[in-house]
Every structure is written in structure tokens, then in C-alpha cells.
Copies of this chain bind each other. A is one copy, B any other.
Amino acid sequence: MVGQLEVEADGIERRSGVSLWRQIADKILHAIAIGDFAENAALPPEVALAERYGVNRHTVRSAIAALVQEGVLRAEQGRGTFVLSRKRLSYPIGARTRFSAGLQGQASERHIVLLASSVEPASQRVAEGLGLARGNDVIRLETRGEADGRPVSRAAGWFEARRFAGIDAAMAQTGSITASLARFGIDDYLRQSTMLSARHADAADLADLDLQPGAIVLVTVAVNVTPDGQPIQFSESRFPAERVELKLSAL
């Protein structure tokens, strides 16, 4: 027999299209992120978690299994289940956002990897963002940001091809957008505007950011300009919400 609860404890929703084990895994992740469970600390035993969330022990086990798979937890028979992962990185977004500078002190190793580059005609929104006519050639750089070996961002950046010919090579060589732009005489640039949204990770996000299905990504669409307001870069970036939060400072 099944003892069906009418009201669930702690924000667990049934028949929502999101399985209970996934919801509980998200809750545990969130609890770790906000510091409810310290690093290396033992999680409450499975029966306690099952009671807290009003579900069967096996459902909790499914959630834990997913997080073990993700490398967030480690389960030891007879001892308990332990927290491995650290808190979320705080990624700054402001007028002078720079990848490495912003994460200083939070991760010992951080860098950007150039995954691919290509020349293509500007789409509608890229053209608008850069103030070009639609169809003008632009260079697209596909990059991934990593901190301590974990992917923390995945971005596409577009630059006017005529003005920034060779920026792909510069990026491959320097591993830095800032350094690459410096080669084109851009010593300073500002973030003009940023649109921010959130959605479930799609197949590309899962592969790019090493996420599990059901994860959430933050998406920013931004335009960088020179100090005198000339657009130089249009970008779309995706951040895994479980590993990164955004800190908005003076734009």
C-alpha cells in the first residue's frame, strides 16, 4: 500500500514533469551551495533525508546516486555520504569584467580555452549588437572558461571580421580576450549592456559544461564597447547555475 501525502514537505512537487529524485538532488546541491552542509561533512542519513522530503528512501538514493555521478558527493558503505564539492564561484559582471581577474582568490587555476573559430555572415542580432549591416562578415570565437579544471562558462563572441582579422590566432596564442584585443590597439573596453535569462541546459550545454540533464544555465547576452562607445564584441555566455553565481557590480 502507498501512503500518499497530500502536501509535501519542503517544496517537493509531484506530477510536475520533474522527477522527485531530480528535485531532491537540486535541493541538496542548493543546500551545499548556500553552506548548509560544510565541505567534507556527512550528509544526514538516507532515512532522515527521506523523512525530511517526504519520500521513500530509495528516491533519496536515486538523488544521491546522481550527485555521486556528478562528483558532488561520495558515499561510503557503513559510514555515510560526504560532501566533496565546494561552494559556487562568484563570477563578477561589471563595466570592466575580465575573466581571470574576477575569479582571483576563488580558484587557484583558471583559464580560457579556444574551442573553435570561424568567419561567417552576421546574423540579425549580431549585426544589431555590433552596429553592422546584416550579412557583414564577423569572426566567431567559441570559448570555454575553466577554474580548477571545472568548466564554469561557455561563450561565443563575435567581432567585425574586417577590423579584427586574425583575432582567432591571437586568442589561440594568448588565451585571453583582453590580450588579443590589445593587439588591435584596444587597451580598454567597457560592457555596454547585458541581457540575462535562465533556462534548462540543452544538449550542447550538457556536453560543453559537463552537466547532468536537468541542470539550469544562466545566459548572458552582452555588448562590449570602446570607451568612446564603439561596439567591438557581441557575446553570448552560458554559466552552470549550480557552480556559478553572478555578482553584478558597477557597470
Contact = CB atoms under 8 A, between A and B. Distances in A.
Nearest to A220: B248
Contacts of A193: 247-249
A245 interface: yes
A214 interface: yes
B18 A241 contact: no
A86 B194 CA distance: 21
A3 interface: no
B203 A216 contact: no
A57 to B, nearest CB: 18
Contact of A16 (B93, B94, B198, B212): B212
24 contacts: A10-B202, A12-B203, A13-B214, A16-B213, A17-B21, A17-B22, A17-B213, A18-B19, A18-B200, A18-B213, A18-B214, A88-B197, A93-B248, A193-B247, A193-B248, A195-B246, A195-B247, A196-B218, A196-B247, A197-B241, A198-B217, A199-B216, A200-B216, A248-B251
Contacts of A213: 13, 15-18
A25 B21 contact: no
Q: Which of A30, A193, A216 has the most CB of B within 10 A?
A: A216
A13 B216 CA distance: 13
A56 B248 CA distance: 43
